[in-house]
Amino acid sequence: MDKRYDTMNTQFLPVSQSDMRARGWEEYDFLLITGDAYVDHPSFGPAIIARVLEAEGYRVAVLAQPDWKGPAAFASLGRPRLGVLISAGNIDSMVAHYTVAKKRRHDDAYSPGNRPGLRPDRATIVYANRIREVFGDIPVVIGGLEASLRRFAHYDYWEDKVRRSILFDAQADLLVYGMGETATREIAGRLASGTPISEITDVRGTCFAARDPGACAYPMVEVPSFESVSSDKRAYARANMTEYNEHDPIVGKAILQRHGRELLVCNPPAMPLTTEELDRVFELPYVREPHPMYDQMGGVPAIEEVRFSVIHNRGCFGACNFCSLAFHQGRIISSRSHESVVREVTELTRHPGFKGYIHDVGGPTANFRRPACKKQLKAGLCKNRACLSPETCPNVDADHTDYLMLLRKLREIPGVKKVFIRSGIRFDYMMKDQSGEFFAELVKYHVSGQLKVAPEHCVNGVLDEMGKPHVEVYEKFRQKYERLNQKYGKEQYLVPYLMSSHPGCTLDDAVRLAEWLNKSGRQPEQVQDFYPTPGTLSTCMYHTGLDPRTMAAVYVPTDAHDKAMQRALMQWKRPEKRPLVLEALRRTHREDLIGYGRECLLRPNRPAAGSRPQSGGARPAGKPQDQKLKQRGKRVEHNDVQPKRKAGWAKPKARKNAKPGKGRR
């Protein structure tokens, strides 16, 4: 590390007994186990928790990606004095390992050298059970995204069944859900004071097991039991909606759910951090790099996305039904101060690899800097109502002034050439900002060739099930984006994320999406199938066939072949997709999209000699020049697919043949 950059003389936390001896430690307080490689950066949850505890005066050692096939690795650092904290890492271990088709992934960006297989399936459970094997009754606290999303009885896509709360399978004493700094500090303080872990039952943002509802210290509501939600899909949907609605730090109640003779008690969520608290968390002395033990293994690829990026906010009131953020970080926004972000970017300019570009100033949603409305901080979140869909609530305050002022300050820092926004933005929220000033400066200064947005689909019925705004809002946004690019002489593109096979999306809807893309002259290079991750409303729809918001029936594409057809329709020009697209068009009786017209998706098969061409924008079998070639005895070929059209998304009308770089989902 360049000493000019390492101004705080930071060092990694111990990862071995020799590291602890070098610090003069004869014992340590907490062992933190993570399923990711050890990257000491505030984009990695385990690093934040470790540094928060260190700032409180505790001695913390890190055990990253231990060999779970035996107990030796878990005993290698010795027994900690106070307890063990366990996280599967930044993402659910099953999502890290498997594609939506349930096939093994060939890489893992959170592991050294991009190597897969360095953590087990269901890492939280495996690690916790190994710790019990090695240390017996030591206090065990699980947290992170995997534990957070699986805190209740939940549908597990990979086993295609309802599993009980991860708290019981992990044999843990406590489960910390959401962003766990406050809860972890409180738990650590009580353990240090000698309070038995069994008596720590009133910490907000935690779950514990009990036998008696009287163990709960808060107003409570009980949801159907694990046994009920495992056998009754309507009960599962009711439970899921209650769990979602009560995830409210202002007015949310504790939730109880029986698992056999035991009772899961989920205390209300912790309050979001204040601006001052969030500043302190992000300005702890992180090294901001992967541990050097990975250097010979190729490093940790995940750092490349965040090394020169800044997180300025937390939470998301966009609340897309398929997204886990609302069930993890929550829907109330908290933000860092301008001064804190400026200090971080100034420090980044001293990094030896910095070339003048801040890659992102974002978060879960880049353009959220304040709660959706003033009411939220006093009365909590509206139940059974979303802030932005299907229409933006009239109470939403869509003022971007604060974010705009922050970006202007960052652009003025010496050494900074460009400040980009690469996190997703909510275009519907932008369109409600009457001033338009942020939109203009976004186009002028903050787009690195491509702007990521997420319309997800074009059929409003499907968008309603997704919790997304109607397509008309996206079209108005796209048109304004084009106008601004033309006004400022920019050649920049939109990269719209699109999803196939979401609950509510029929094959007819998928054909309409392909038509919409074709009319726009677009075809995505990458498409995303709906991935049912634990805890979300969309996953509830997938499992139950019910919309938990209304209890109305929802069509769910579950057949692998039907899902393949939906996916193929989004990439209809690819020759290898032709058989699936052809089958889909015939199944939906849309043969009118097979022909030679501009509206057609497929060209007809070459007709047999002497037969007439197929209908649907049909034209004579050969062009005049083809007839001349035939007279000369030369073979004439006609492609079965359309020729490639311009690849830009919402391309300004400046150059016809320019192509953007590849987008990434």
Helix (H, G, I), strand (E, B) or coil at 136: coil
d(CA 30, CA 85): 7
Residue 655 has pLDDT above 90, yes or no: no
Query: Which is nearest to 419 in space by CA: 307, 283, 310, 278?
Result: 310
For residue 445, give the 3-state DSSP assignment. Answer: helix
Calculate helix-pair angle for 275-282, 45-55, nearest 10 degrees.
100
Task: With a cut of 80, say whether residue 659 has pLDDT above it.
Answer: no
SS (H, E, C) 2-51: CCCCCCCCCCCCCCCHHHHHHCCCCCCCEEEEECCCCECCCCCHHHHHHH
CB 424 within 8 A of CB 375: no
Mean pLDDT score, 256-269? 98
Q: Which amino acid is at 508?
A: D
Architecture label for domain 17-266:
3-Layer(aba) Sandwich (3.40)
Domain ranges of the chain: 17-266, 275-587
What is the rounded average pLDDT of the residues 629-656?
39
The per-residue pLDDT for range 111-141, each reduced to its tens digit, is: 999 999 999 999 999 999 999 999 999 999 9
Q: Are 69 and 88 in contact (CB under 8 A)?
A: no
Could you give the dihedral angle defined by the CA atoms of residues 239, 244, 247 and 251, in that order, rounded to the nearest 10 degrees? -80
Share of the chain above pLDDT 90, in %: 84
Q: Tell me the pTM.
A: 0.89
Is residue 540 annotated as involved in ligand binding?
no
pLDDT at 262: 97
pLDDT tens profile 522-556: 778 778 999 999 999 999 999 999 999 999 999 99
On the question of pLDDT at 593 being above 80, the answer is yes
Residue with tokens 């050890």: 38
Q: For 50-68, give the DSSP string.
A: HHHHHHTT--EEEEES--T
**Model confidence band, residue 654 (pLDDT cutoffs 50, 70, 90):** very low
The pLDDT assigned to 656 comes to 39
- Would you state the pLDDT for residue 523? 79
Q: Which residues contact 235 (CB under 8 A, 6 or more apart)?
A: 224, 228, 229
Size (the chain), residues: 665
93-102, 215-224, 548-557, 648-657: least confident range: 648-657
Are 124 and 147 contacting, i.e. CB atoms less than 8 angstroms apart?
Answer: yes
Q: How far is it, in rounded angstroms, from Cα 659 to Cα 286?
A: 39
Taking residues 201-217, what's their average pLDDT? Answer: 97
Average per-residue pLDDT for the chain: 90
3-state secondary structure string across 137-155: CCCEEEEHHHHHHCCCCEE
Q: Is 373 annotated as a binding residue?
A: no
Q: What is the DSSP string of 80-135?
A: -SSEEEEE--SS-HHHHHB-TTSPBPS--TTSGGG-S-SS-TTHHHHHHHHHHHHH
**pLDDT reported for residue 1:** 41
CA distance 546 to 648: 37
pLDDT at residue 471 greater than cutoff 80: yes
577 closest CA partner among 527, 614, 533, 618: 527
Which 8-state DSSP code applies to residue 389?
S
CA distances from 290 to 10, 46, 90, 431 (A): 13, 13, 14, 39
Q: Which of 24-38, 325-339, 626-640 has the lowest mean pLDDT?
A: 626-640
Would you list the DSSP string of 154-218? EEETTTTEEEPPHHHHTT-SEEE-SS-HHHHHHHHHHHHTT--GGG----TTEEEEESSGGG--S
H or E segment and range at residue 220: strand 220-222
End-to-end CA distance of the chain: 32
Q: Is 323 annotated as a binding residue?
A: yes
For residue range 46-85, list pLDDT tens digits in order: 999 999 999 999 999 999 999 999 999 999 999 999 999 9
Percent of the chain predicted with pLDDT > 70:
90
Closest CA to 449 of 652, 657, 665: 652
Q: pLDDT digit string (tens) for 356-400?
A: 999 999 999 999 999 999 889 889 999 888 999 999 999 999 999
Spell out the residues 6+ positions from residue 24 whose beta carbon is closer than 8 angstroms to its own: none
Residue given tokens 């950059």 in the structure block? 5
Binned at pLDDT 50, 70 and 90, residue 234 comes out as: very high
Q: 52 near 185, Cβ under 8 Å?
A: yes
| Rg of the Cα atoms in the chain | 27
Helix axes 507-519, 578-587, angle to 10 degrees: 120
Print burial letters for 8-23: b (CB count within 10 Å at least 16), e (below 16).
eeeebbbbeeebbeee
CB 511 within 8 A of CB 467: no
Q: What is the pLDDT of residues 551-590, one digit of tens each?
A: 999 999 999 999 999 999 999 999 999 999 999 999 999 9
Three-class SS of residue 366? coil
> What is the enclosing helix (H) or strand (E) of 496?
strand 493-500
pLDDT tens by residue, 313-351: 999 999 899 999 888 999 999 999 999 999 999 999 999
The CATH-assigned architecture of domain 275-587 is Alpha-Beta Horseshoe (3.80)
